[in-house]
């Protein structure tokens, strides 16, 4: 347990692979605080940078629904972040300890909580921050006061869009059971605020059904599920869940960001409609979803329109090269150079990184490599038969 001159450290409340979290009392004003410290005695430069970024982003978000960061202090060879303690517990812990109240959560309580979480997330996005790790462990609730706050901005970014890289799924950024397909780094798509909506959908799914959308514990299989498989709708897992509520969750879990909600306000409007119907007539009828979903951010779709012939020409040429291992020029050198400056390149990149095999087979190959202790195949590696 750590020791600070200004804070009486009481108890350890959480331990992750990277951090230790304690509850304590500030000796100067007798207020309750949370202390978050890096676990390693000799943290890397990258870990220290991540902690500094977490403090900077958290302290800059002066929002009621975001945990307040009081200060950051040096401690021996590492860093400690001092955060507010409003007496809450993570939804993850509440679900584990309160079966029936939080696992699964009664519909009326779920809708009230979901509206609060969605509103907070909308305010975070309005500040141009992408959280990138929305899950029950990072949503803290005080059942007595009704306060809800989002925590842990360790991998958050202020960039409106980022490009995730291909990594071993065991070290991917975020919590693997909740991350969006594009956040896996295997979708050839840049990342924007809508990745948080997918994670929000996975969180809502678990609150409603007591199950994750995909319950496998195999990292590679979980990545494949996020990218290619459709989860059972919540209403099929639990027939008591209304179709409208189930539809909201499934829209959040859409594989393509363009098919999800485009704003937190659109999600909130539909949740509020469900709650209003439940309160007035004790049932929820189906209604058109996303009718008030208007984004305040301009987004260019990350897919091609009207270039089907060109894409098919490229893919056919790639298949020939992959099968014969011969070089081939498509449309002359000039056109090949043009390819590198257009969106058409994005269509061939996924195949180039998979050796021409279907994505599912490539994922299986990656898993076998990891099980044998060999490094996974890199993006841009040689085409193999």
Can you list the domains of the chain with their CATH numbers?
7-84 (3.30.200.20), 89-281 (1.10.510.10), 308-371 (no CATH)
Whether residue 130 is predicted with pLDDT greater than 80 in this model: the reply is yes
What percentage of residues in the chain have a pLDDT greater than 90? 62
Q: Give the phi and the psi of residue 246 in degrees, each rounded to 5.
A: -60, -40
Whether residue 164 is predicted with pLDDT greater than 70 in this model: the reply is no
Residue 157 CA to residue 240 CA, distance in Å, equals 38
Whether residue 257 is predicted with pLDDT greater than 80 in this model: the reply is yes
Whether residue 357 is predicted with pLDDT greater than 60 in this model: the reply is no
pLDDT digits 0-9 by tens, 177-224:
999 999 998 877 888 999 999 999 999 999 999 999 999 989 999 999
**For 156-177, what is the mean pLDDT?**
72
**For 80-101, what is the mean pLDDT?**
89
- Cα→Cα distances 364→112, 217, 369, Å: 41, 15, 9
pLDDT of residue 337: 45
pLDDT of residue 99: 66
Whether residue 364 is predicted with pLDDT greater than 70 in this model: the reply is no
Residue 225 CA to residue 146 CA, distance in Å, equals 35
Band (311; pLDDT cuts 50, 70, 90): confident
* Higher per-residue confidence, 30 vs 185: 30
Asked if residues 353 and 379 have their Cβ atoms less than 8 Å apart, the reply is yes
* Higher per-residue confidence, 265 vs 296: 265
Whether residue 339 is predicted with pLDDT greater than 60 in this model: the reply is no
Whether residue 264 is predicted with pLDDT greater than 90 in this model: the reply is yes
What percentage of residues in the chain have a pLDDT greater than 70? 77
Q: Which of 3-7, 254-258, 378-382 has the lowest mean pLDDT?
A: 378-382
This prediction has a pTM of 0.80
**For 108-124, what is the mean pLDDT?**
97
pLDDT of residue 1: 75
**For 278-289, what is the mean pLDDT?**
96
**For 76-95, what is the mean pLDDT?**
94
Residues ≥6 apart with Cβ < 8 Å to 80? 2, 4, 35, 36, 37, 72, 73, 74
């Amino acid at each position: 347990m750590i020791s600070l001159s200004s804070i009486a450290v009481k108890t350890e409340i959480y331990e992750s692979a990277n951090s230790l979290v304690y509850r304590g009392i500030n000796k100067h004003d007798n207020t309750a605080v949370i202390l978050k410290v890096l676990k390693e005695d000799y943290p890397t430069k990258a870990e220290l940078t991540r902690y500094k970024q977490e403090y900077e982003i958290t302290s800059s978000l002066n929002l009621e629904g975001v945990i307040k960061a009081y200060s950051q202090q040096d401690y021996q060879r590492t860093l400690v972040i001092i955060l507010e303690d409003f007496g809450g517990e993570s939804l993850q812990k509440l679900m584990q300890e309160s079966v029936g109240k939080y696992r699964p959560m009664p519909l009326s309580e779920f809708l009230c909580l979901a509206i609060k979480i969605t509103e907070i997330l909308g305010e975070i996005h309005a500040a141009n921050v992408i959280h990138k790790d929305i899950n029950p462990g990072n949503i803290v609730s005080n059942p007595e006061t009704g306060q809800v706050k989002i925590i842990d901005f360790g991998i958050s970014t202020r960039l409106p869009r980022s490009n995730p890289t291909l990594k071993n799924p065991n070290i991917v950024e975020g919590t693997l059971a909740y991350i969006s397909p594009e956040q896996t780094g295997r979708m050839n798509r840049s990342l924007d605020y809508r990745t948080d909506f997918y994670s929000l959908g996975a969180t809502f799914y678990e609150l409603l059904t007591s199950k994750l959308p995909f319950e496998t514990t195999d990292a590679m299989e979980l990545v494949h599920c996020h990218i290619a498989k459709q989860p059972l709708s919540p209403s099929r897992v639990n027939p008591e869940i209304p179709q409208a509520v189930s539809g909201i969750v499934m829209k959040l879990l859409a594989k393509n960001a363009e098919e999800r909600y485009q704003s937190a306000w659109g999600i909130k409007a539909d949740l509020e409609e469900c709650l209003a119907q439940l309160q007035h007539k004790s049932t929820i009828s189906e209604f058109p979803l996303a009718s008030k979903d208007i984004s305040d951010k301009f987004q260019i779709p990350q897919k091609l329109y009207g270039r089907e012939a060109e894409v098919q020409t490229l893919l056919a040429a790639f298949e020939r090269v992959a099968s014969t291992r011969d070089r081939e020029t498509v449309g002359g050198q000039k056109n090949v150079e043009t390819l590198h400056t257009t969106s058409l390149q994005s269509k061939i990149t996924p195949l180039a990184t998979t050796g021409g095999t279907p994505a599912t087979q490539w994922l299986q190959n990656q898993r076998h490599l990891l099980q044998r202790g060999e490094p996974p195949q890199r993006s841009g590696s040689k085409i193999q038969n």
